[in-house]
Every structure is written in structure tokens, then in C-alpha cells.
Amino acid sequence: MEETVAEKLAKKQRSISVAEFFEKNKQILGFGSVARALISTVKEAVDNALDACEEADILPDIMVEIKRSGKDAYKVIVEDNGPGIVKEQISKVFGKLLYGSRFYTLKQSRGQQGIGISAAVLYGQVTTGKPTKITSRIGVGYPANYCEMIIDTKNNEPDIVFESSKDWDRPHGTRIEVELVASYIKGRKQSVHEYLRATSIVNPHARITFIDPDGEMEVFERSTDEMPRRPKGIKPHPYGIELGTLLKMLKNSENRKLAAFLYSDFSRIGRKTAFEICERAGMDPEINPRDFNIESAKKLLNALKKSNISAPQLDCLSPIGEELMKKGIEGDSLVDFVLTTKRSTSVYSGNPFLVEVGLAYGGSLTGERVEVMRYANKVPLLYGGGGCAITHAIERINWKNYGLSQSGGGGIPYGPMVILVHLASTKIPFTSESKDAIADVREILDEVERGVKEVARGLRIFKEKEKKFKKKREKEEIIKKILPKIVEKTSSMLEREPPDISRVIARIMGNLLVDKEYAEEDGRSYFYLDLCNYSDISLNFKIHERAEGEIISYEPEAKIVDSPAGDYLVWSLKLKPRDEIRLKYTIRSIKELKMERPFVDGVKDVTIGGRCFGGKG
């Protein structure tokens, strides 16, 4: 009988290894262009180094060097001081795709799939044909193991080209050298330098040294010696668990009783709650989980959703924290307003997650469009912004409600502003293996939107206050122009010295009055600062006063601050409405006093009075 077409086609079919698949689909892993290939290689190596150091409670000291090795070819070297890798595991960690220790662990980590660094090795050998060189040492007294390897893509297995022991000056750590066809770009948002800068912002415990192809070195110094909280592995949370996942857990459970399955295989379910769930589902707590079918699993899932179960514990996550968020979002800019927030822990598909948001506005920030800084498990996301849930959540907000414009009523708003959003989760739902963008999971979209709206409301309040403050200033300027003329005219008519009207202006405007005067006697200068709160609220503030000579005495109690410009007296004060206080200090007289104005920290509406400024009075 003649062979059919189906039979002929069947002979051509064969299984494909994951390495072969990615060899022909490099773009899926983030190696779609020569510029991205370089960043992706550095990113995967640095992410691995940070995770390894944190798991071993070692303050990371990471060196990244990029060398030109030929036309359109570069050598990427990443070296860390982590715990190292045992000899038997080196080739598998770097030379086998989908090989790792974190896929089955529910806790926050940068890497999860076991693809990243081996994908960089694969890209290097495909584009240059050269093996990757790895050196690793696990401790003092152990030799450093060195190997050169490629990936056997047909079998998805490492192929060791050369291996030996060698001397290495690091007591422990790992070094990887990958040669690849790539393009090095300087001074762009999407560059190696920008990735390392953004990484250092949210990993202040790490020191990262970067040497570029021109030999220029920049060190992103650690700003703290305190290690971040190490996330702990947890069991799945029952909220958001999907039917298929629940069926799999029931079939694979080691427990033979439903109640035991619930309180042993899930987090946040105790024995009492487990029996309540069984009762709600109308099921016998003694039933074997392995006997469940789809219908009974649906009933159990429905009972789980209706049960009052505590939110996931936070020890499986390691958020950035408010102080670091503020530092990261401000950068080197001077801003008018900054606010951060951390949302409560939520769950999607049984995976706990939380969202942190920071917003900075005005000051030295420039640019027409708002800058969005996206992070996932403390890793900056430089690409794929248009397809990311973080971007989509920001775009669906009506920013006109917060005083910002949007093109066509949608999209990223316009204005001098930066929004930083960090998603921390036991499993980040990336849109692809390249880990550039976060998928549009409803729970994540909602939490990002709520977090951004929370800081945006703070911005709206700030802008409303600024508007009122501007109007008040305009009113004050008008009063300052009119009243002195009236006073001058009246004084002239009465042939008297014009009085100081600063107290009158302060009272009309509802300001804090700071009236400064001084007198000289017996080689000493006596300074008096009379303060009165004419506002309707209590004021907490500080007065900074530079002493122009040697301080002899002062009252009430003040803090003396040394500076190159001279000593400052700093008073921390609290005044209720209509409260008054007198500050006094004495200095040894000098030839010429400048009578500088005191600086008030913590109060915007201030009227400075006194007749002695600009000379000896």
C-alpha cells in the first residue's frame, strides 16, 4: 500500500530541545538586537550575582567590565564575591536551560526560570562560536575551578571544552566571561550604564564597579552595610488559586485527609479554618484529596474564595522601602514634592505580591512627558514599557483630576514628574522569557492603579496649596507696596520717623513674624529675635541664625552647628496661634555687622521684620 501524506509527514516530526528552540528564537529571551544583547547579558549575570550574595548573607561586591574583542564583538566579564558554585554544578548552571533552584520555591528572587545566564552563554556561542569561560571558588582552602564550555543545543546539555584548577585572588565568588556580537551605546536610558545605575538605586547594600570599553571606571558605592531582609519560602496562598493548580495540588499531596491537605499545603490556613472550609464546601474533612474530580475541586475552590483568610505573610517578600524609594526617585534632582506609598499584600493565582509607588514633581525635573521607572523584584525594566501592566495602569488613570494633561484624554501624562513603581512577588508574571514587561494581571493592574492614585492625590493637595500660596504671596506683595507708601506719606505729614509695619503685614496675612534687632554695649553685640505666630494653626519649625562673631551666650537652649561660613544657632520651636517668644544671643563685637536675615525651616508664610538689615541699623 502506498504511503500516505500523513505517514510521510509523521516521519519528519521530532521533539525539539528547549536550547534548540531558543537558539532559533533569541528575541524571546531579550537578545533580539545587538544593543539589547549586551544589556541582557550584563543583566542576567548581575541578577544572578546579587541573588547568590543575598542568599549567603554576603554584602555584594560586583565588577562588570566590557572589552572590545573585534569588529562588532565584545567580551562581557562579570565577577562577584558570592558563595561560589560547586564544581559539579558549574556546567549545569551556565550550560543547561531551564535548570535552577528557585522555580519551585515561593519567595521573592530576581531569577526564577533557570534560563537567563545560560541564554547569554547560548547567544555568545551562536554569534562568535567561542566558549564561555567560568571561574568559581567556594571558599578559602578550596581551589578555584575553571572551565570553558558551550551548550549542546540538540540535547540541552553543557559541553565542557576545557577545565582545570587555578589560583584566584578572591576567597570565594564567581567570574563569567562571555564573548558576543553586540553594540555598546553610551548615554541612553537603555544602556548598560543606566541598568547598573538603576540597579544600584534599589540595592544600596551592593558595590558595583563598571569599566566601559574605553577603560573608564565608575563605582556605584554601597550606601549601607545592612543587608536587605532575606525572603523566606512559603506555601501557596489560597486566594487567587486557579482550578487547574488546585487539582494538581490535590493529586500530588502527601496528605490523605482533606483537612490536613488544607492546613499543610497552603499558607495562612490553620486547623480550625481548614475544618470551617470543609463545612462550607459540604465535604468530609477525612476524604482523600487524591479522590477529587473537577466538580468537587470547584466546590472546594468556591469555599476557599468565601473564607476569611489572613493576607499572605510579608516574610516571603523584600520590598524596597520608603526611604530608598525617595532616594531613588529623586536621584540628583531637587524636587518640590515627593511622596511614596506601600500597598498591602495581595494575591494573584496563589502568589503573594505587593506594590510600592513613589512620585516626585517639579523642581529641577524637566521633560514634557512623565518619566516612569519600572522595577520587578528590584530589577529595573528598561524595555517593553508599552506592553507592561505598570504602564497600562498609569495610562488608564484620568490625570486631569490631578492637574496634569494627557494626549487625547489617555496615555502617560505630561509634566515635570517621575513615577517609580516596584512590584515585589514570589512569581512575577512576565509577558515573555526576556522579562521586560509585566503581564496585565487584573489584581496587579488594580493594585498599581490604587498605589499611583494614592500618591497622585498627595500631588493634587500639594498643587492646590501651592496655588493658594501663590495667591497669598501676590496679595502680600500688593500690601507691601501700598502700606509703606501710606505710612511714608502719613509720617511725612506728621513729621515723624516711619514706623516698622512688618507686624501689621504679618497680622493681615496670617504669617509667622520674625522681628530681628540688635544693640551694642561694652564690646558686645546683643541680638533679639521676636517671634509671633499670627496664623490660625500651631507651627513646628526651626530658626537658623548665623552668628557673625564668637558666641558668648544664648537663650533659650539652642544647637550650635559648625560650618565653613561660621557657627549657626538652631532653635527648634513650637508656637500656638498668637503665641510669642523672644530668642537672644550675644557675640563679641566685630567691625562691621551685616545683619543677615534668619532662615526659617518648616514654615512657608513668614514675614521678616526689623530695621537693621543691610548695615549697622
The CATH number of domain 314-463, selected from 3.30.230.10, 3.30.300.10, 3.40.50.1220, 3.60.10.10: 3.30.230.10
- pLDDT for res 617: 29
29-43, 165-179, 471-485, 603-617, range with the lowest pLDDT: 603-617
Q: Is it the case that residue 115 has pLDDT exceeding 70?
A: no
154-158, 262-266, 449-453, range with the lowest pLDDT: 154-158
- pLDDT for res 612: 40
Q: Is it the case that residue 20 has pLDDT exceeding 80?
A: no
- pLDDT for res 602: 85
| Rounded distance between C-alpha atoms, residue 109 and residue 106, angstroms | 9
Q: Is it the case that residue 94 has pLDDT exceeding 90?
A: no
| Segment 579-599, tens digit of pLDDT | 999 999 999 887 777 778 888
| Segment 202-215, tens digit of pLDDT | 888 899 999 999 99
The C-alpha cell of 193 is what?
Answer: 550604564
Give the percent of the chain with pLDDT over 70.
89
Average pLDDT over residues 576-580: 92
The mean predicted confidence, pLDDT, of the chain is: 84
Query: Which DSSP letter does residue 122 get?
Result: H
Q: What 3-state class would DSSP assign to 518?
A: strand
Nearest Cα neighbor of 401 from 359, 363, 366, 453 is 453
Phi/psi of residue 292, each to 5°?
-70, 145
Average pLDDT over residues 341-369: 87
Phi/psi of residue 466, each to 5°?
-60, -40
Average pLDDT over residues 46-54: 90
| Residue 471 identity (one-letter amino acid) | K
Average pLDDT over residues 434-458: 93
| Segment 118-139, tens digit of pLDDT | 888 888 888 888 999 999 999 9
CATH 3.30.230.10 residue spans of the chain: 314-463
Contact 580, 532 (CB under 8 A): yes
CATH 1.10.8.50 residue spans of the chain: 243-306
Placement of cell 520651636 in the chain: 573
Contact 53, 81 (CB under 8 A): yes
Q: Is it the case that residue 44 has pLDDT exceeding 60?
A: yes
CATH 3.30.565.10 residue spans of the chain: 18-220
Sheet with 61-70: list strands edge to edge: 157-166, 144-152, 132-137, 173-181, 73-80, 61-70, 207-211, 217-220
| Rounded distance between C-alpha atoms, residue 306 and residue 285, angstroms | 17
Contact 354, 322 (CB under 8 A): no
> Which pLDDT band, with edges at 50, 70 and 90, does 175 fall under?
very high
- pLDDT for res 469: 65
Q: Is it the case that residue 383 has pLDDT exceeding 80?
A: yes
Q: Is it the case that residue 464 has pLDDT exceeding 60?
A: yes
More confident position, 339 or 8: 339
Q: Mean pLDDT highest for which of 244-248, 413-417, 499-503, 515-519?
A: 413-417
| Rounded distance between C-alpha atoms, residue 516 and residue 527, angstroms | 7
CA atoms within 13 Å, Cβ hemisphere of 22: 29
- Burial environment of residue 496 by CB neighbours within 10 A (0 to 12, 13 to 18, 19 or more): exposed
Q: Mean pLDDT highest for which of 47-61, 94-108, 559-573?
A: 47-61
> Which pLDDT band, with edges at 50, 70 and 90, does 179 fall under?
very high
- Burial environment of residue 547 by CB neighbours within 10 A (0 to 12, 13 to 18, 19 or more): buried
> Which pLDDT band, with edges at 50, 70 and 90, does 527 fall under?
very high
Other beta carbons within 10 Å of 208:
23
Q: Is it the case that residue 101 has pLDDT exceeding 50?
A: no
> Which pLDDT band, with edges at 50, 70 and 90, does 616 fall under?
very low
Contact 463, 58 (CB under 8 A): no
- pLDDT for res 580: 92
Q: Is it the case that residue 302 has pLDDT exceeding 50?
A: yes
- pLDDT for res 554: 93
Strands 61-70 and 73-80 turn out to be antiparallel
The C-alpha cell of 48 is what?
Answer: 544572578
Average pLDDT over residues 139-163: 87
What CATH architecture is 18-220? 2-Layer Sandwich (3.30)
The C-alpha cell of 440 is what?
Answer: 496585565
Task: Name the maximum alpha-carbon separation found in the chain.
Answer: 130
Nearest Cα neighbor of 342 from 363, 370, 314 is 314
Contact 596, 535 (CB under 8 A): no
Q: Is it the case that residue 105 has pLDDT exceeding 60?
A: no
What CATH architecture is 502-609? Sandwich (2.60)
Give the percent of the chain with pLDDT over 90.
33
More confident position, 459 or 508: 459
CATH 2.60.40.290 residue spans of the chain: 502-609
Average pLDDT over residues 500-519: 83
The C-alpha cell of 412 is what?
Answer: 502617560
What CATH architecture is 243-306? Orthogonal Bundle (1.10)
> Which pLDDT band, with edges at 50, 70 and 90, does 26 fall under?
low
Placement of cell 506592553 in the chain: 387
pTM: 0.69
- pLDDT for res 441: 92
